[in-house]
Structure 1
Amino acid sequence: MLALERLAAGYGESQVLFDVSLSVGAGEVVTLLGRNGMGKTTTVRAVMGLLPSQGGRLLGGRVAFAGQKVAGWPPHKVARLGLGLVPEGRQVFPTLTVEENLTATARPGRWTLAEVVRLFPRLAERRRHAGANLSGGEQQMLAIGRALMTNPALLILDEATEGLAPLIRAEIWTVLARLKAEGQAILLIDKNLAAVMRLADRHVVLEKGRTVWQGGSAALAASPEVLEGYLHV
């Protein structure tokens, strides 16, 4: 479904990604792990075509999705191919209501407004409230719901639960487990290693813009050199 091969990218004169390779298959949950500043968000931006808007550019490698080479495509074209993004910092539309946020970029498919508010009942309660007036947890639910409303083949979450209260984090992990059970392919960035190891099929570890390790949860748990050397666990 998604395949990155030897991806290189940077901002201005600074190169951030040197050799990133990973893949996500249909129905698979894959995590992108690494300490802060190792290139995880830049990788997501490269996939989604967002690097130019951040002053960045691709320097080499291959980005393919659904059998098409998408490197250099504009974000709207990438999204229409079936990639849905929950960005770092949520980035909901602050002046639009919850309902308007959800329907602004909606596409036909399994996820409708009724299904999303059933998944996140709190959004139904806040349906007429502006995005700027929601709590951080509610904004994250809204960002996930908005991405689902595009009915993506692959859902990408950059920092899925960062900065959220424990109860909200638990609710989001429950939702992600449900999505996985329904066959939704997911590429996930999050610092909660215990949670991602329960959820994911495979993990990809980045160090200074390079893929340094890939494998399943059992293999990761049995690799103290990876946990201590690259994840500081």
Structure 2
Amino acid sequence: MLRVEGLESQYGDSRILFGIDLAVGRGEVVTLLGRNGMGKTTTIRSIFGLLKPRAGRVWIDGEDMTGRPSHLVARRGLGLVPEGRQVFPTLSVEENLLATERGPRGAKWTLEAVYRLFPRLKERRRNGGDQLSGGEQQMLAIGRALMTNPRLVVLDEATEGLAPLIREEIWRCLQAIKREGEAILVIDKNVDALARFADRHVVIEKGRVVWSGTTEELRRAPQVKDRFLHV
């Protein structure tokens, strides 16, 4: 589904990524882990064409999409839940969702399907985006990405700043999305929660992949968490 090879990116004269390799297969959940400032968001921005890589390749279903505009990346089947949620504040919940609606007749992710996944959004459907709690905004951001009917959902900081109960609700919804067969690439700091439903993990440090493996391999390697993930 998604393959990234030797990705290098920079902001101005500051190099951030130094050859990132990762892949996400169909229906697979892969995490991108690392401490703050290690290059996770830059990796996502480079995949989506929001930052043009200086080297490397991004392949989606075998097509080279390196540096292509973000709307073309989305059309190839990638849906983004960005860091900070970035919902449209002056649009209602329903208008936010309909703004990104895309897919053939009979597509899986419709307005009603998103409302079934997030009943709270249906209750708040007439409220403006700026009238929602942080957790509700995150649900809306996920729902908005699903309305594009993606084959891969990418979440940058899935539960950052959310209360524990809301975090658990987000994890349950991501598990439901996985059961629907969607591939997921997720950034989050809650390694234990991610390990409950992720298939593989990629750890980056200072713009380089320093470890990758399955959930079982991560459980057997506590030194990885101690060295690269603990603050």
With the shorter chain as reference, the TM-score category is over 0.9
In 2, distance between residues paired with 1:157 and 1:40? 11
1:179 matched residue in structure 2: 177
Distance apart, 1:87 and its partner CA: 0.3
1:113 matched residue in structure 2: 111
2:77 matched residue in structure 1: 82
Distance apart, 1:6 and its partner CA: 0.9
User: Any residues of structure 2 matched to 1:174-213 within 5 Å, and which?
Assistant: 174-213=172-211
In 2, distance between residues paired with 1:184 and 1:72? 24
1:61 to 56, 78, 82: 56
The alignment covers a number of residue pairs equal to: 228
1:18 matched residue in structure 2: 18
Matched residue of 1:211: which SS?
strand
User: Any residues of structure 2 matched to 1:100-179 within 5 Å, and which?
Assistant: 100-108=95-103, 109-179=107-177
Normalising by structure 2, we get a TM-score of 0.97
In 1, distance between residues paired with 2:120 and 2:185? 25
**Amino acid aligned to 1:58:** P
2:38 matched residue in structure 1: 38
The answer to whether residue 94 in structure 2 is matched with residue 96 in structure 1 is no
**Amino acid aligned to 1:106:** E
1:54 matched residue in structure 2: none
Q: Deviations over 1:155-189 (max 9, x none)?
A: 00000011111111111100111111221100000
**Amino acid aligned to 2:145:** A
Distance apart, 1:37 and its partner CA: 0.5
2:223 matched residue in structure 1: 225
Normalising by structure 1, we get a TM-score of 0.96
Matched residue of 1:160: which SS?
coil
Matched residue of 2:53: which SS?
strand
Matched residue of 1:199: which SS?
coil
Q: Deviations over 1:53-81 (max 9, x none)?
A: xxxx3110111011111011001111011
- For structure 2, the 5+ residue unaligned runs are none
Matched residue of 2:229: which SS?
coil
**Amino acid aligned to 2:28:** E
In 2, distance between residues paired with 1:37 and 1:28? 26
In 2, distance between residues paired with 1:32 and 1:38? 11
* Identical counterparts, % of pairs: 65
